Structure 1
């Protein structure tokens, strides 16, 4: 539709069309018509993951309160990374663990970091690439935690470190302005958090390291928005990512299979005494 001057209706913030018309009585008026096109610049995937994490934490806390479950059993039933269950075939825990959180403080800091870095990475890489980076990084973080940390673990921090890893890939590929904008601050955040993870007990630093590596590899595999073609570099990186998961699962079976004869309840109590990791 065009107005009397031949102009198309104006689009305001991607949400409304302002339409100027004359009604049957000759009266001029303006009305707004809802436009359901989403604004592509809004980080909807990031917001969705934030809502999912908060929703799962609320449900988990509610179930724990109603049924009198302590934190360990809440995490157990909702899918935390628990090594002796993963080696028995519950590999889905490598995925579900990245959506669970150990207390509201853990949830708050991870949510804040996800909002900051998720919004940036989603805009720079695009929504589909963002999902792939986030999921691969989270799985890689869970995998390294499974291989090298005996303690139960949960949290989105591995995937968030993966978002920082994807920004490292961006700096490597583009440099210039991006390096001046992100470089110093990004290096400091990564370094301080990794150092803090080694000093402070109860932090799953293997998950952070795995997520950082996974995010860098995933970004290399999917490429930036202007890197649409499947190149040899991308193909090799995809094969490397798949190989990492395959070798990790194989190594975990070899490492943990000898302790599978231990009674599950006793083993869980031992893990619980070792402490929960974030």
Structure 2
């Protein structure tokens, strides 16, 4: 579920929304921070979340910060998180529901920041609120939709969310309210977007993407897919430990 086994070409084909978002993060960073083009700098100033400007009617600033980042490390970390935790939900929910979840959680984080934070000139940007919304959906699964997520992946999510919340409060220059309200927003919309959802399966993705080629395909692993082996569970646990260590390294950096 969180261990990526797809090739780059398969990833682009199976998860177009995640691929688009990651590409958008990197392109905007390239234009705004690396090349520092004048029009791109104006876009960044125009799109950044600033409470006083929202108060003056610039309500688009509740949406646009979701796609902007403060430098390469910020864009890379959020993109890395999307690549790890977004694909399973994109497959389970479908493109439309995943986009709705992502925007709802991101906007919830920005609205929470605007309403609760008293600093009129507080400025913020980043996709972290939307990503915490993804975590919120997973937490809802662990508590209320146990058939959608196995025990090993539930443990991984518990560790990652706990680590994310811990780093939210101990690291400087973090939009704490954005993270918290994004998590709450994802949890709140989970009952809606998870309606009729089925557990993640890489084989289901491959079948759906190959369904229109008009050929009948033989799947040599069809019997192996019918049950969860202890080997598969062990692979998830090892993958979770690796993700945990990588996230610690990135956050410390």
Smaller-chain TM-score bracket: 0.5 to 0.7
TM-score normalised by L of structure 1: 0.61
Higher relative contact order (CA 8 A, sep 6+): 2
Q: Which residue of 2 aligns with 1:223?
A: 194
1:76 aligns with 2:45: yes
Q: Which residue of 1 aligns with 2:18?
A: 46
1:67 Cα offset (Å): 7.9
Range 168-177 or range 136-145, more displaced? 168-177
- Deviation readout 1:15-58 (Å, 9 max, x if unpaired): xxxxxxxxxxxxxxxxxxxxxxx999711111111111222222
Alpha-carbon distance in structure 2 between the residues aligned to 1:74 and 1:188: 36
Q: Which residue of 2 aligns with 1:102?
A: 70
Alpha-carbon distance in structure 2 between the residues aligned to 1:99 and 1:111: 11
Identify if the C-alpha distance between structure 1 residues 47 and 99 changes in structure 2 by more than 3 Å, giving closer, same or farther.
same
Range 180-189 or range 40-49, more displaced? 40-49
1:120 Cα offset (Å): 1.4
Identify if the C-alpha distance between structure 1 residues 220 and 177 changes in structure 2 by more than 3 Å, giving closer, same or farther.
closer
Gap regions ≥5 residues in structure 1: 1-37, 228-278
Q: Which residue of 2 aligns with 1:93?
A: 61
Which of 101, 120, 135 does residue 164 from structure 1 map onto? 135
The answer to whether the 8 A contact 1:124-1:225 is kept is no
- Deviation readout 1:183-226 (Å, 9 max, x if unpaired): 11111111121121111120011101111111111222233334
The answer to whether the 8 A contact 2:11-2:19 is kept is no
**Structure holding more strand per residue:** 1
1:169 Cα offset (Å): 2.0
The aligned length equals 186
1:140 Cα offset (Å): 0.3
- Deviation readout 1:53-109 (Å, 9 max, x if unpaired): 22222222267355896xxx77423x1110000000011011000000001000110
The answer to whether the 8 A contact 1:126-1:225 is kept is no
1:115 aligns with 2:86: no
1:145 aligns with 2:113: yes
TM-score normalised by L of structure 2: 0.66
SS in 2 for 1:64: coil
**Structure holding more helix per residue:** 2
Query: Aligned ranges for residues 1-278 of structure 1 at < 5 Å?
Result: 42-61=14-33, 64=36, 66=38, 75-77=44-46, 79-149=47-117, 150=119, 151-176=122-147, 178-226=149-197
Alpha-carbon distance in structure 2 between the residues aligned to 1:52 and 1:68: 13
SS in 2 for 1:101: coil
The answer to whether the 8 A contact 1:132-1:218 is kept is no
The answer to whether the 8 A contact 1:97-1:153 is kept is yes
Identify if the C-alpha distance between structure 1 residues 104 and 41 changes in structure 2 by more than 3 Å, giving closer, same or farther.
closer
Alpha-carbon distance in structure 2 between the residues aligned to 1:222 and 1:136: 11
The answer to whether the 8 A contact 1:41-1:123 is kept is no
